[in-house]
Structure 1
Amino acid sequence: MKPWNLTRIRPAIGVVIDDRRIAMSVVASTPRRRREIAQDVRECQGEALDVVLKRMLAPWVDGEDGKPRRRKIWVQVGIPENQVFQASVPMSVANRNLSAQSLFLEAVQATNLRAEDHVFDLKKIDVARRSLSIISACRREVVTGMIDAFGQAGAQIAAAEPAPTALLRLALQQRRTSRSVTLCMRFFLGPRRALALMSFGSYPLFWQVFDLPAGGEEEAVRSAYSTLWLLWRRHGVKVAIGAVHLHGRPDLALSAQREAFQKQAGAEVIRSPGPDYDLVSIARGIAMADPLLEDVELDLARRFRPAVPIREIFPWTEACLQGVLIAGVSLFLYAAAADVQTSFRHAKTQSAAFLWMGDDQQAKLDAEMKGLEEQITFASGFSKSRIAWTSQLRTIAADTPDGTTISMLAGDADVEIHGVATKSKEKKQLVVQFNTPLPDDGSIPPHIDKFLSTLREEPLVLQHFPNINVSGLQTGTAGKVKKITYRVDFLPKARAGAAKGS
């Protein structure tokens, strides 16, 4: 196994130790996401703690040649909840200036405990405009014993935090709650035991470990819920529980428990498959922290941690990757700049042929350009507004009845140019005079009405002349043939008028 490689950036080792076993989890940033890359669980009965730790950490402590590394590796340790005292104390005028030791004695309210025999960590948070002090304590000999054991195994402790804090961190990373929900009650279920935890954001306030008897899991969870709810009421902070989370043991339905929670607390009940209440999940949650770069919630080994050299917290791999990215972008920009420079030189060479055009020629060029623009405007306007007379006359001739002749034809169409003002309205019309032979009885032939109706339905004619009027009906003779003469006016819509005949 090669634990240290470039595809696993900044590995973090989390270890948790209980009375019989040691669990380890290694988390690293991979190309996809930060995830667990290794885990191990070993029994420690009958062997010294440092011996088991040295054997477990050997792949990470030793180099590729099998020899120990010059620098000790950093390890994050979880302290079991039965070895940690955790409490949240409401702050008042009387105790707001007390030290962590004094707050510990106030919370414990026992005379057989000495503050000097414990190590503390204190965090102050605000809940609904009420200050709370979260105090965590552990016996000094437990922390110092772990530091010595890991030191003999070739490691040094970066942080030592309570195990419930690690489970809370892992639960928050697996499923984020709404930002408006800050106070939550969480139950981490295990095979035989479970952990009930009251949390505010990422801070654990207090917890309780309880048994999970087979067949009585729902009653045990409800009892732990009532206990935590009463403890929270004693704080005097009027903040309702926003959500109740049930983690782990997906084999338990807990359907009745969910309804009871929602009825009793009025909060949303969320069922999650993990994390479980076991050593591996705790070790994984501990490894998810980064105490060398960020401040963890509760650290009982804070005062014992040596100064961290800059070379151990500097992100060498990230810096190399970003340097490669910057170099690639720089090469791309350099190539683009070279193309622009080449285009500029080519344009400068072409413009050198027109050096004879000085600044005094600019006015003349502007005048010529304006004249060309006007010509283009007139040509465009003529092309858009002109009437295709050939098509118009061909359509009219095709509809004209047999024997009918045209005795007069006149058409006008001024050019309409958009954006150019004219003194008068544009003139557009077509006037055609027809001569149609009459029968011997002198009646008007019916095909004249049909002819006019056909003209009024021609799309090509209606495109420019939607109004067609008939006027000037006269009868006469041409030799021995009787005829009727009539005039048809083709007009645009703007000059529409009442028809003078049909």
Structure 2
Amino acid sequence: MKALLTRLAVQNEIGLAIGEREIAVSQVAATPLGRVEVVQDRAAFEPGGLAEALEKLLAKHFTRRDLERARVSVGLPALRVFFSTRPIQERNLQASPEILLHEVLQSPTLIVDDMVVDLIKSKVGFRPLASIVSCHKKYLSGVLAALQSCGIVPTRAEPSPCALLREAVRRYHPPRNSRGFLRVFLGRGQGLAVLMAAPDMPLMWRPFDLPGEGEAEAVLATVASMRILGSYCGLDSEVDAVLIHGRADLGGLADELGANPGLQGLQILHHGGPGMDAADVATGLARGLRSGSEAFNLIRSFGGRTSFRDLFPWGQAAFQVAVLLAATSWLNVQLRAHRAEAEAVRAEDAKYPWAAKSSAEKLLGEKKMLEEKAAAIRAFVETRIPWTSYTHDLSDRLPADLTLVLFQGYQELELIGGRSNGKPKRSLTLRLNAPIPRTGAMPQEIDAFLQILRDDPLLKRDFPKIELGDLRWRQNGVNPATADFSVACHPLESGASKPKP
């Protein structure tokens, strides 16, 4: 599985942690599934045997071609490196790293030319700081010679605590709103305390011995001294948390330190890793830097290997290519849809070849005329009264004793364009006759029919105002006498309410 991931890797990173008596190697492959550690190993060596031990260790896992293609980062032991952070004045913002190192050490016996120096400038709040790291050229040249004998030209050489700190930051974040805290790394017989001013900004570190029976006392003494020295490194706030990493066997160490009166008020957390171990340092080196972060590089002045492949932002390029492909695919789908619509429109236009012979002005005139006709028809249909509905409705509601003589409906057409002076007039007139009884009384069917009309939903909608017109007595020869009457139906006048029944 590891061999397959190595073949699928877009980029291989190798980390070499060099200690005083031990070296460790780690390889992290950047695969489509993410970063995966595929190699981790270590080996001990005697003084003067670094090159031989390094060659044996690397030959177990890599070929010369693998080492030439991979990016190799080297970690130097903390005891071989000087590190300090100091506030700098505005006049020294452009000073060289050698000048700042000389001002920090203030030693007349130190020859700065014998040192390799690297510098990172930063800010804590509004205070400019300079983080300086240096080591002897003689020691670094010996390490580079041992690497060169194995065919390695490293891309970066930094202090081992930086790689260890980077691995701890990746796994565990400090408490929220913490402005100053300590990370303490524990190992077998030794430890390392790092003073932090930001989630990933070290101000100072100090190695310390870790005896077998007095771990708590050693950590307590180191934490106390680091809290005192914080102000000299530019930390303008108190240390409010301690994060302990490594030595999972010391599970009660956090509680023991928390019970000490000198650490009252500090938040103390204990995490299983990474510890003060060469393997964890190598893993931190192999995982590389986060995007946009800075790191020390003591071989910067040596002209270490910096190829185009190392400088090119592969991650950003891959992301932008993916976005470009997705946008191109979406645009291609939209283009196909528009082309299909255009083809359908052209096919529809082909059915009317005569339209191609007419001018655009003529077609627009015809279109305007048709729109006016359609508007007139629409207005007529929406406002006209369906008289056939009334004839059917009244024939169903007409009593058997009444005879409908006249059905007269009137509706004034609504003018298009708003030229009418008011609402169009409309009315419905009915003329009926009813037989008069022998008693000569007025027929009751008239009142009953008026009530039927007032309850008719169709009339309520269009002609809710119903009135009885003229009423006449008619006698014609031998025929029985009849009562002729008319009913006038009108719509409500604007602003008037419907009459109550």
- Normalization by structure 2: what TM-score? 0.73
Pairs within 5 Å for 1:220-299: 225-235=223-233, 238=236, 252=251, 254=254, 264=265, 275-289=274-288, 296-299=294-297
Distance in 1 of aligned mates of 2:90 and 2:317: 49
Match of 1:187 in 2: 183
**Secondary structure, aligned partner of 1:156:** coil
Counterpart code for 1:386? R
**CA shift digits 1:400-459 (9 cap, x unpaired):** 445344444333345558x8323233334444456566876658567557525532xx2x
Match of 2:123 in 1: 126
Distance in 2 of aligned mates of 1:478 and 1:263: 120
Distance in 1 of aligned mates of 2:242 and 2:311: 37
Distance in 2 of aligned mates of 1:487 and 1:255: 104
Distance in 2 of aligned mates of 1:261 and 1:369: 93
Distance in 1 of aligned mates of 2:179 and 2:112: 30
Given that 1:14 and 1:283 are in contact with CA atoms closer than 8 Å, whether structure 2 keeps it comes out as yes
Counterpart code for 1:298? F
**Secondary structure, aligned partner of 2:8:** coil
Segment drifting more, 116-125 vs 254-263: 254-263
Distance in 1 of aligned mates of 2:217 and 2:482: 118
**Secondary structure, aligned partner of 2:37:** strand
Q: Residue 351 and residue 487 in structure 1: after superposition, are their counterparts in 2 closer, same or farther (change >3 A)?
A: closer
Match of 1:24 in 2: 25
Counterpart code for 1:54? E
Given that 2:412 and 2:426 are in contact with CA atoms closer than 8 Å, whether structure 1 keeps it comes out as yes
Q: Residue 160 and residue 436 in structure 1: after superposition, are their counterparts in 2 closer, same or farther (change >3 A)?
A: farther
Match of 1:426 in 2: 424
Q: Residue 375 and residue 14 in structure 1: after superposition, are their counterparts in 2 closer, same or farther (change >3 A)?
A: same
Q: Residue 341 and residue 395 in structure 1: after superposition, are their counterparts in 2 closer, same or farther (change >3 A)?
A: closer
Match of 2:146 in 1: 149
Distance in 1 of aligned mates of 2:218 and 2:212: 10
Match of 1:15 in 2: 16
Match of 1:386 in 2: 384
Deviation at 1:232, TM superposition (A): 2.5
Distance in 2 of aligned mates of 1:397 and 1:220: 113
Does residue 306 of the first structure (1) align with residue 307 of the second (2)?
Answer: no
Q: Residue 243 and residue 429 in structure 1: after superposition, are their counterparts in 2 closer, same or farther (change >3 A)?
A: farther
Given that 2:12 and 2:71 are in contact with CA atoms closer than 8 Å, whether structure 1 keeps it comes out as no
| Correspondent of 1:410 among 379, 384, 408 | 408
Given that 2:45 and 2:53 are in contact with CA atoms closer than 8 Å, whether structure 1 keeps it comes out as no
Q: Residue 163 and residue 452 in structure 1: after superposition, are their counterparts in 2 closer, same or farther (change >3 A)?
A: farther
**CA shift digits 1:173-207 (9 cap, x unpaired):** 456789x9795535254465454331446432212
**CA shift digits 1:233-283 (9 cap, x unpaired):** 235664677987666678858589899999847xx9888775455333322
**Secondary structure, aligned partner of 1:306:** coil
Deviation at 1:128, TM superposition (A): 2.7
Given that 1:12 and 1:27 are in contact with CA atoms closer than 8 Å, whether structure 2 keeps it comes out as yes
Q: Residue 413 and residue 210 in structure 1: after superposition, are their counterparts in 2 closer, same or farther (change >3 A)?
A: farther
Match of 1:357 in 2: 357
Q: Residue 92 and residue 322 in structure 1: after superposition, are their counterparts in 2 closer, same or farther (change >3 A)?
A: closer
Distance in 2 of aligned mates of 1:437 and 1:493: 35
Counterpart code for 1:120? V
Q: CA RMSD in A?
A: 5.2
Distance in 2 of aligned mates of 1:163 and 1:136: 12
Counterpart code for 2:301? R
Match of 1:82 in 2: 79
Q: Residue 235 and residue 374 in structure 1: after superposition, are their counterparts in 2 closer, same or farther (change >3 A)?
A: same
Given that 2:156 and 2:304 are in contact with CA atoms closer than 8 Å, whether structure 1 keeps it comes out as no
Q: Residue 308 and residue 396 in structure 1: after superposition, are their counterparts in 2 closer, same or farther (change >3 A)?
A: same
**CA shift digits 1:122-143 (9 cap, x unpaired):** 1222333322111112233332
Given that 2:435 and 2:483 are in contact with CA atoms closer than 8 Å, whether structure 1 keeps it comes out as yes
Q: Residue 423 and residue 323 in structure 1: after superposition, are their counterparts in 2 closer, same or farther (change >3 A)?
A: closer
Deviation at 1:161, TM superposition (A): 1.0
Does residue 38 of the first structure (1) align with residue 38 of the second (2)?
Answer: yes
Match of 2:100 in 1: 103
Match of 2:59 in 1: 58
**Secondary structure, aligned partner of 2:204:** strand
Q: Residue 184 and residue 484 in structure 1: after superposition, are their counterparts in 2 closer, same or farther (change >3 A)?
A: farther
Given that 2:186 and 2:247 are in contact with CA atoms closer than 8 Å, whether structure 1 keeps it comes out as yes
Q: Residue 324 and residue 487 in structure 1: after superposition, are their counterparts in 2 closer, same or farther (change >3 A)?
A: closer
Counterpart code for 2:149? Q
Distance in 1 of aligned mates of 2:271 and 2:393: 81
Match of 2:468 in 1: 472
**Secondary structure, aligned partner of 1:37:** strand
Counterpart code for 1:147? L
Counterpart code for 1:170? E
Counterpart code for 1:13? I
Counterpart code for 2:130? S
Distance in 2 of aligned mates of 1:408 and 1:453: 19
**Secondary structure, aligned partner of 2:42:** strand
Distance in 2 of aligned mates of 1:398 and 1:99: 110
**CA shift digits 1:138-160 (9 cap, x unpaired):** 23333222211211122122111
Segment drifting more, 298-307 vs 89-98: 89-98
The percent identity for this pair of structures is 24
**CA shift digits 1:43-69 (9 cap, x unpaired):** 314593223322332366426xxxx57
Given that 1:73 and 1:154 are in contact with CA atoms closer than 8 Å, whether structure 2 keeps it comes out as no
Distance in 2 of aligned mates of 1:487 and 1:341: 64
- Normalization by structure 1: what TM-score? 0.73
Deviation at 1:327, TM superposition (A): 9.8
Distance in 2 of aligned mates of 1:392 and 1:227: 106
Q: Residue 400 and residue 72 in structure 1: after superposition, are their counterparts in 2 closer, same or farther (change >3 A)?
A: closer
